[in-house]
């Protein structure tokens, strides 16, 4: 079995979707690479290696493709200081470009107002030259690298277009024929593109705000108890078993268990739960939570990449690094975009010459074609929306592990709910003990508890808790045999004891008629009835009830209002399942389904052409979660829940199921809006430029605006609000 290793790389020098394709191609061709995904919005690559591949080869492959790269340590925080320094340098470059270009453009504005005044040619050259060589230097460098690898990028279009305008102006100056100078066009194009890149960079930082907020939750130091004193140590140096002291208002440094003290913890940035949670000795806590008013001593149970917070960050980064299915279309278009634009530019130049225009007119219109085309916007359309969508989902307590799940969820037509722990709180309690004639409640409960010892099933825990509350002595059992979906058998004092469902009783020929009526009444109230028998004779039955989650009924109603059908899927008997379904307003019920049969039920629904989401606890429902088009694990962010499904709800609120669908729909809308804007700029702009209706300067402005509009539109997703939060605020 091959071992997969995943590495993240920071990529420098990418400017458009064509660059993304080139880097992905270079990485995919590296020996040992199983999968490579490059994100223009984050300027990162995520690569999965199998076998003996060397991560240093990944960096070398990117460098050979003409870009710079370096490995990013897993879970590393963004280098805010470096990013701030880079942004300052970009600001200086932009300010210098504007200062040099403004004197060139002002006379053109004056001419439009009837003021005819023009700078001398040598002054124009002096102003335009540093813009062309210094501000435009990066475009030339990147264009040359792309040319060497025989690929086309946005940098080549900018370099060709501005060089043509600048070169034509130099020719007119040198020839002395009095021809028009276009230094202002080349300088304005470069300045506008630089302005667009600057605004785009600032906006893109906004799409990564969720990751930054999560990473900011990790404190740098922890106060570790050493005997009777404490010492400050780096969080990275904590080990499992350390006892950390957390004062009021401080963040929990790592996952742990409270040893001493009680308090309220704010877990809102981890679970999306806005209200503080009461915690006391023995309770588990999550690293990154904010301590309320109490002093806590916490034993560390998980550190580094094993903490819940680290896993959340890893999942969000993985989702933002992955590609949505619609991106495949964009990748195909981007692969041929630059060659097609170059062909259109050449055709424009030739067409104007054939129409009788002079070389200058044909060249300027060809330049406008080169400049208006913007594959950069195409490359940003999908990933910026994915980043913004996964970001707001994470803040709401919805963890989406990959872009494909985020895109696919908007098509969900049927939501199948598991019952226990999903629509109920998952903490059943014994509500009635029904012994057969000649038996006592204590005998029945004691035998049931003996058989259930060691089991973690919710119904077993309910029986064990009830026996403990009554102070019953529990005998030792042997010969356990678990029968999934039916019950369990064991031997106590030489007697063969059966504990389980009516199906188990029927399989062993046990007559239950004496208690059928009482059992039916209990099941009609929504309780689950567990039957007991020994040596072929009925001992009695135990009714166990669970409490519906507060938001369960409202969640079902809202999901149905959204045009999505709901189904209750459970191993419980038909009467209990129907009773719960009536309380919730669910009309479709699949009851008495064994664990292995749940996936088959999902397949049956899918066979009818439906897109199905399965909502479960991430453990017993794993086959059904895997079979569903979208698996949604409803839990509290445990390791098992995170691994079980592509979508994990960080708190057990069924209303978040609707929110997950809603954020998917909002994100997909933004993706298609972005793609519309990215394509419409080119579909309208390129013909206008080719027919001489768009000057090179306006073309440059439109090109810069296209990227900024795409990113800004994606950022509007940050306004999305979860239904769960709104319902809570209104109560």
**pLDDT, tens only, 134-165:** 988 888 888 888 777 777 777 787 888 888 88
pLDDT digit string (tens) for 392-416?
888 888 888 888 888 889 999 999 9
- Where is average pLDDT lowest: 267-281, 493-507, 523-537? 267-281
Q: What are phi and psi of 457, to 5 degrees?
A: -65, 140
To the nearest 10°, report the CA torsion of 683, 684, 689, 693. 160
**218-227, 341-350, 675-684, 698-707: range with lowest mean pLDDT:** 698-707
Query: What Cα–Cα distance (Å) separates residue 558 from each residue in 471, 492, 537, 566?
Result: 45, 50, 47, 11
Above 80 in pLDDT, residue 272? no
Residue 665 has pLDDT above 90, yes or no: yes
Contact in structure between 478 and 451 (CB atoms under 8 Å): no
The pLDDT tens digits of the residues spanning 165-185 come to 888 888 888 877 666 777 888
Is 15 within 8 Å of 380 (Cβ atoms)?
A: no
Name residue, tokens 């080139």: 22
Q: Tell me the pairing of strands 528-534 and 495-500.
A: antiparallel
Name the pairing type of β-strands 429-435 and 414-418: unpaired
**Do 202 and 87 touch, CB atoms closer than 8 A?**
yes
Report the half-sphere exposure of 54 (CA within 13 A, side-chain side): 5
Q: Pairing relation of β-strands 612-616 and 630-634?
A: parallel
Q: Which CATH architecture does the domain made up of 429-545 adopt?
A: 3-Layer(aba) Sandwich (3.40)
438-467 pLDDT per residue, tens: 899 999 999 999 988 877 677 888 999 999
Which tens digits make up the pLDDT trace of 292-342? 888 999 999 988 878 888 877 777 777 766 677 777 777 777 678 888 888
Q: Taking Cα atoms as reference points, which of 312, 300, 301 lies closest to residue 270? A: 312
* Helix/strand/coil (H/E/C) assignment for every residue in 500-551: ECHHHHHHCCCCCHHHHHHHHHHHHCCCEEEEEEECCEEEEEEEEECCECCC
Give the C-alpha separation, 192 to 190, whole Å.
6
List the Cα angle 210/375/683 in 5-degree steps.
Answer: 120
The DSSP 8-state label assigned to residue 133 in this structure reads: I
Select 239-302's CATH number: 3.40.50.620, 3.40.50.300, 2.70.150.10, 3.20.20.140: 2.70.150.10
Q: 10-36 pLDDT, tens per residue? A: 888 887 777 888 888 889 888 888 888
CB-based contact 132:166 (threshold 8 Å): yes
CA dist 695 and 646 (Å) reads 49
Contact at 8 Å (CB) between 267 and 251?
no
Within 8 A by CB and 6+ apart from 20, the residues are: 14, 38, 39, 40, 331, 334, 379
CA–CA dist 661, 665 (Å, integer): 6
Q: Is 575 helix (H, G, I), strand (E, B) or coil?
A: helix
DSSP string, 267-303: -HHHH---S-EEE-TT-EE-TTPEE-SS-EEEEEEE-
Is the per-residue pLDDT at 641 higher than 50? no
pLDDT exceeds 50 at position 731:
no
What is the three-class DSSP state of 57?
helix
**Residues annotated as catalytic (active site), given as ranges:** 418
Query: pTM of the prediction?
Result: 0.75
CA 366, CA 385: separation in Å to the nearest integer?
Answer: 33
3.30.1360.120, 3.30.70.100, 3.20.20.140, 3.30.420.40: which CATH number matches 4-73?
Answer: 3.30.70.100
Tell me what pLDDT residue 271 has: 72
Structurally, at CATH architecture level, domain 413-424+548-628 sits in 3-Layer(aba) Sandwich (3.40)
Ranges assigned E (strand) in 22-172: 33-39, 44-50, 68-72
Domain ranges of the chain: 4-73, 239-302, 413-424+548-628, 429-545
């Amino acid at each position: 079995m091959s071992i997969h290793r995943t590495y993240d790389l920071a990529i420098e020098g990418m400017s458009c979707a064509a660059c993304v394709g080139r880097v992905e191609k270079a990485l995919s061709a590296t020996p040992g690479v199983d999968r490579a995904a490059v994100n223009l919005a984050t300027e990162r690559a995520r690569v999965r290696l199998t076998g003996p591949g060397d991560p240093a080869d990944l960096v070398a492959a990117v460098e050979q493709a003409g870009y710079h790269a370096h490995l990013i340590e897993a879970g590393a925080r963004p280098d805010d200081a470096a990013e701030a320094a880079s942004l300052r340098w970009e600001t200086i470059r932009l300010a210098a470009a504007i200062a040099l270009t403004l004197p060139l453009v002002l006379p053109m504005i004056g001419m439009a107002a009837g003021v005819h005044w023009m700078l001398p040619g040598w002054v124009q050259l002096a102003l335009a030259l540093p813009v062309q060589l210094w501000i435009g230097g990066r475009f030339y460098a990147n264009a040359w690298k792309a040319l060497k690898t025989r690929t086309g990028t946005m940098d080549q279009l900018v370099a060709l277009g501005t060089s043509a305008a600048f070169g034509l102006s130099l020719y007119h100056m040198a020839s002395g024929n009095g021809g028009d100078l276009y230094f202002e066009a080349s300088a304005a194009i470069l300045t506008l593109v630089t302005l667009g890149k600057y605004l785009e960079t600032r906006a893109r930082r906004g799409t990564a705000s969720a990751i930054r907020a999560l990473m900011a939750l990790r404190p740098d130091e922890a106060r570790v108890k050493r005997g009777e004193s404490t010492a400050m140590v780096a969080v990275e140096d904590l080990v499992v078993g350390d006892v950390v002291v957390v004062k009021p208002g401080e963040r929990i440094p790592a996952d742990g268990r409270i040893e001493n003290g009680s308090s309220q913890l704010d877990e809102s940035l981890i679970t999306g739960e806005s209200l503080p949670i009461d915690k006391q000795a023995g309770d588990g806590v999550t690293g990154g939570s904010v301590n309320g008013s109490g002093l806590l001593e916490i034993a560390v149970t998980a550190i580094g990449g094993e903490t819940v917070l680290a896993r959340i960050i890893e999942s969000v980064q993985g989702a933002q690094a992955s590609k949505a299915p619609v991106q495949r279309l964009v990748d195909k278009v981007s692969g041929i975009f630059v060659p097609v634009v170059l062909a259109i530019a050449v055709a424009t130049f030739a067409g104007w010459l054939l129409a009788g225009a002079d070389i200058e007119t044909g060249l300027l219109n060809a330049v406008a074609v080169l400049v208006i085309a913007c594959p950069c916007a195409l490359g940003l359309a999908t990933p910026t929306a994915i980043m913004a969508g996964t970001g707001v989902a994470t803040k709401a307590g919805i963890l989406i592990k990959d872009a494909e799940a985020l895109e696919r969820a908007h098509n969900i037509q049927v939501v199948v709910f598991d019952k226990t722990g999903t629509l109920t709180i998952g903490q059943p309690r014994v509500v009635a003990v029904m012994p057969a004639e000649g038996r006592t409640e204590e005998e029945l409960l004691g035998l049931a508890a003996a058989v259930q010892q060691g089991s973690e099933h919710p119904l077993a825990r309910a029986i064990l808790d009830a026996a403990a509350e009554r102070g019953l002595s529990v005998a030792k059992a042997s010969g356990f045999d678990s029968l999934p979906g039916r019950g369990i058998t064991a031997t106590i004092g030489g007697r063969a004891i059966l504990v389980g469902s009516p199906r188990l009783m029927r399989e062993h020929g046990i007559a239950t008629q004496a208690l059928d009526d009482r059992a039916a009444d209990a099941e009609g109230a929504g309780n689950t009835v567990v039957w007991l028998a020994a040596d072929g004779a009925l001992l009695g039955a135990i009714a166990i009830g669970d409490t519906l989650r507060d938001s369960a009924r409202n969640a079902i109603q809202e999901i149905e209002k959204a045009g999505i059908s709901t189904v209750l899927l459970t191993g419980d008997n038909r009467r209990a399942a129907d009773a719960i379904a009536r309380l919730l307003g669910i009309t479709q019920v699949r009851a008495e389904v064994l664990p292995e049969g749940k996936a088959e039920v999902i397949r049956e629904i899918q066979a009818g052409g439906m897109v199905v989401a399965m909502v479960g606890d991430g453990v017993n429902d794993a086959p059904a979660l895997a079979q569903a088009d979208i698996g949604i694990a409803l839990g509290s962010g445990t390791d098992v829940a995170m691994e079980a499904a592509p979508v994990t709800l960080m708190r057990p609120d069924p209303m978040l199921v609707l929110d997950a669908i809603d954020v998917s729909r909002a994100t997909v809308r933004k993706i298609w809006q972005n793609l519309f804007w990215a394509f419409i700029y080119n579909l309208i702009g390129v013909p206008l430029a080719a027919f001489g209706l768009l000057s090179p300067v306006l073309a440059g402005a439109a090109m810069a605006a296209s990227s900024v509009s795409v990113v800004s539109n994606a950022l509007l997703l940050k306004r999305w609000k979860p239904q769960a939060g709104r319902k809570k605020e209104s109560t």
